[in-house]
Amino acid sequence: MNTIFKKMVQKAQNRCLPFKITVELNRSCNLRCRHCYHGPFDQHFLPREKLQNIFAALAEAGTLELTFTGGEIFTHPELIDIITDARKAYFDVTFISNLTLAGEEEIARLAALGVRLVRTSLYFATPQKHDTFVGEPGAFAATVNALKLLKKYGIKSKVQVMLLEENIAELAALEELCQKLGATCAGVYFMDPTNQLSEAPLAEVPTLKTLNSTRKLWQNSSFIGWMNTRSLGPDLCGAATMSAFIDADGLLWPCINWPKAAGSLLETPFKELWNSPVMQEARRLIKGPTPCHSCEKRRFCLPCLGLNYKMGGGVNHPYPPRCRQAAIYQAAIAASGA
């Protein structure tokens, strides 16, 4: 994040402006990734007509960046038209996709529209292992091909690599692959429970035993070690102060993990919901202080007060699996000398 952008984000947060909004366009997906928090999957989606009204309200409120997610957004029947509308409203557009359904025609159109960044995921450098993990033969090849097309058409890409018990030995190979594809490589370190509060995805997280036994394979990569050197600000996140989440039903939430919605944007103006009691409560609670703000393991954690609230009954009750994983990363980094 460059200095100018950082200043813009900080000013938005200080003034409580909805700088960055994530929009869930639909709940359908062509993959069934083992760790996915989503579900149940269905064919429901936000229609273009409703989104046009939402875009107008967001523009008036001062939103600059829109991130589209799903489900898998390329299963939305009006995706290109929706992104066209967003760009006509001068939003900075990014999106999250598995890219398996994105062909050259779609990517060329997205480039012409000025989409800035696409985020996707690769879980293994071995195609068969990746395809097994996401439940779809040929998924690895399709995602890699789309990443090549993004590079060809000049759209920036970021590959989010979820650290798993089974893929630690492939981290260096994944990093090398991303470099060849012209994509930024970023680690994702913590699993979340599903929307139904199942903790099954947490079974995928790496153990300290695995991290220690594979230290030579990840020690010189960009993964894990960065935690020890990153700078920490006073704020845990920007939820409800400069960012928010809109789901496929049109409900506005402080963030994807917050257990209370502010209300429906299909029924209530955005400005009214942005200043609603739910959003005001979220701002007050997220500002702290909470145990997560002062925790000695914070450097090795990505605290989520929404997750605390949803799983533990309040923001002052840190989610134990997140704490345990932070401790594992702290111990692994200490043992590596990073």
Tokens 């970023």 correspond to: 186
Contacts (Cβ under 8 Å, ≥6 apart) of 216: none
Residue 338 scores a pLDDT above 70: no
Can you name the residues that pair with 119 across neighbouring β-strands? 96, 158
- In three-state secondary structure terms, 252 is strand
Average pLDDT over residues 286-304: 90
Per-range mean pLDDT, top range of 28-42, 219-233, 274-288? 274-288
Reply yes or no: is the peptide bond before residue 127 cis, omega within 30 of 0: no
DSSP 26: B
Average pLDDT over residues 231-243: 86
Tokens 């699993």 correspond to: 191
Average pLDDT over residues 161-169: 90
What is the reported pLDDT for 7? 77
169 or 248: which leads in pLDDT: 248
| Cβ atoms < 10 Å from Cβ of 48 | 17
How is residue 253 written in tokens?
A: 């939430």
Within 13 A of 46's CA, how many CA atoms are on the CB side?
30
Reply yes or no: is the peptide bond before residue 40 cis, omega within 30 of 0: yes
Q: Where are the alpha helices (DSSP H) in the chain?
A: 3-15, 48-61, 79-88, 104-113, 127-134, 139-152, 171-181, 208-213, 215-218, 270-274, 277-287, 291-294, 305-312, 320-336
Average pLDDT over residues 160-173: 90
Confidence of residue 288 (pLDDT cuts 50, 70, 90): confident
Can you name the residues that pair with 157 across neighbouring β-strands? 118
Per-range mean pLDDT, top range of 100-109, 207-216, 217-226? 100-109
For the chain, the first-to-last Cα distance in angstroms comes to 23
CB 115 within 8 A of CB 95: yes
Mean pLDDT of the chain: 91
